[in-house]
Structure 1
């Protein structure tokens, strides 16, 4: 099974390759995560295998390997269950991979939840039934270690203030200084009455789980001081070489939540609403990724003047892509947004629609070898949970889609 990138400027949706599809028995695949390993030209696609679409019916994590060919196509292996990524009597959820380049170790974070206890029940009772877990691989995902339960060593006593928590879902990131970042969120319990959380006071808060020693030990950062749930993070390098960790988080409301950290995820300053990124009423997970801003050499005076504007992002060496359903009311019409000035909240272009119709969770990856992007997304014609597909597209595809929309608005 292969997949080729879309033709730049065609105006058509990128070609789709179905990696996971709902089975006649009712088995469903949800919650995609994607990572590209440049040293072996390989994509790893992860998902949850469930007995139904419901969160409490999650079972195990599954994975497929995609080998990038010289002609730009991707050849996919068959699906395999990650049998070591589990704990007894618990369901495995929220895959979140990150690659540590110094030790050449691939870490896969996830949560294990007690039997069929729902997130809602944990929030209502204030009794956490979730464990923070990880497996690792030293052969690029061909084999995996046994599960390590990190709950006590990483979260520790803070767990007494959490109703529940999760990682990602989606990919983590390694910063230029070597720090590993796993995006996460927790339902913080500020007040209790008779050991039960006071209603309407328990809200999700995004935070990072990070390692300063290449994955040997992990710590938790401080929570965002604003309602924020499922999140992903990306490193932004400005033209002075300084690192800024960007967080893009789900929230129930009309818009996404954004925040920046100037200390590599220990805490995030001044979280704010991103009014160019719509959110459905109950919210939906979204994906974000950073990539090197393309070099620009002005050819004439006009372009020289343009080079000084924010459109060409003079303040950063990094641009961002964000992926999320674009419809204001429902999870549909999956779009990819470009930000050429990622240190400014108003830098998002109009989105390129990559799937017209029902769309859900997604994850982005950047392939620097081919200077192209890849994504996994939940989608289908009638319901977003019917399949998880893989797509390839270029930066030109996104830029041209945004410029066409701007011309139509004039």
Structure 2
């Protein structure tokens, strides 16, 4: 068994000697693609956003919220056209302690718009468990129809997940995901849904996650190691990935801040040659990818996990570590299939040699590489084959 491959890494944002730090990455694919917009916050220090000399105060959506924030990372758009922005609030659990708020708890929720962003409303809180920074994905539940999946940061020792059957207007009770451990103080993580591949080689030998018997060389152009160029403006910096323009499966990073639709779950036809998966493992029409530091005590080693049965919180694989060292917040994007038929992903993540906020790195990898490098998780519980009413969180 060979050592897992590590994707080529390109540094796009780097802390400066003046003390300016770049944190909280966001990655957005835009049509006609593959074009990615990479964003980051410029801060005077790692923990405080840059002060522009003023504050644009907005009323809180509820008298019971102490504060709220959106993201980090990307939002999604549903087939109905609804725009969804993941968010979280600190709910006021007890207000009166000598005239001051004395107890709050974090809870994830969504902002949604049904008129292309002209007006926004907030959905109900994920109320039964403390949950914070979150991301969303649409999961095809087969006979159950599509549901909205939320994966959130939590101070409870592991991630929290919750489902919504009304497009994010409300969430069913959340549950802990024991196979996705949190760091000591928790950390933001990214979630991405995409169509499960279909093998069209019925004669392939049986295969399982974590197997690395057959070497695989992805058709991806190598990343560059040139220093990133300054973006216009004083709040963002970025640069392109050399050697990707005009080559098969390449990706262009653009400095154009124009927004665009989320392209995860590309529905175009493509034929990816994959070995068959074990029949004992229930599969879903939608798979999930998740990025988060693999360290349990500190923000170390950026890992990528795969879930082929998203309604089962126990079916996550162990991580494929794509960066060894301090790492923090991240954002995933689906680039779509290459001309050779391999679905590819991009990851923008905080990294460093001493601390996780020294730089923000970018890498590209294929689904085949994920399948070759993730380690098997616990035995699946088979929720994917149970009736829908048994899939609700307990």
Query: Which among 32, 43, 46 is matched to residue 50 of structure 1?
Result: 43
Residues 388, 41 of structure 1: alpha-carbon distance in 2 compared, 3 angstrom cutoff: same
Is the 1:310–1:341 contact (alpha carbons within 8 Å) kept by the matching residues of 2? no
Q: TM-score, normalised by structure 2?
A: 0.72
Which of 228, 234, 238 is the matching residue for 2:141?
Answer: 238
Q: How far has the Cα of 1:39 moved from its partner?
A: 1.4
Q: SS of the counterpart of 1:232?
A: strand
Partner of 2:107 in structure 1? 205
CA contact (8 A) 1:38 1:368 kept: no
What is the root-mean-square deviation in Å for CA atoms of aligned residues?
2.4
How far did residue 400 of structure 1 move? 1.1
Q: Give the C-alpha shift of residue 191 in structure 1.
A: 2.1
Q: Which residue of 1 aligns with 2:166?
A: 263
CA contact (8 A) 1:259 1:272 kept: yes
Q: Which residue of 2 aligns with 1:382?
A: 354
Q: What is the correspondence of 1:229-308 to structure 2 with a 5 Å cutoff?
A: 229-240=132-143, 242-297=145-200, 299=202
> After superposition, what is the alpha-carbon deviation per residue over 1:154-204, rounded to whole angstroms, capped at 9, x for unaligned?
x54x1x211111000000001122111100000000221154123xx3110
Taking structure 1 as reference, are residues 270 and 27 closer, same or farther at Cα in structure 2, changes over 3 Å only? same
The answer to whether structure 1 residue 164 and structure 2 residue 67 are counterparts is yes
Q: Match for residue 312 of structure 2?
A: 344
Q: Deviation of residue 214 (structure 1)? A: 2.1
8 Å CA contact retained: 2:317, 2:377: no
Asked if residue 361 in structure 1 is aligned to residue 329 in structure 2, the reply is yes
Structure 1 segments of 4+ aligned residues over 3 angstroms from their partners: 300-304, 306-310, 403-406
Q: CA deviation at 1:303?
A: 6.0
SS in 1 for 2:372: helix
- Greater helix fraction, Structure 1 or Structure 2: 1
Which blocks of at least 5 consecutive residues in structure 1 are unaligned? 1-8, 61-87, 91-111, 113-130, 132-150
1:311 is the counterpart of 2:281: yes
**Distance in 2, Cα, partners of 1:52 & 1:192:** 31
Q: How many residues align?
A: 303
**1:362, 1:375 within 8 Å by CA — same for their partners in 2?**
yes
Inter-partner Cα distance in structure 2 for 1:173 and 1:195 = 40
Q: Structure 1 residues 310, 297: CA separation in 2 closer, same or farther (over 3 Å shift)?
A: farther
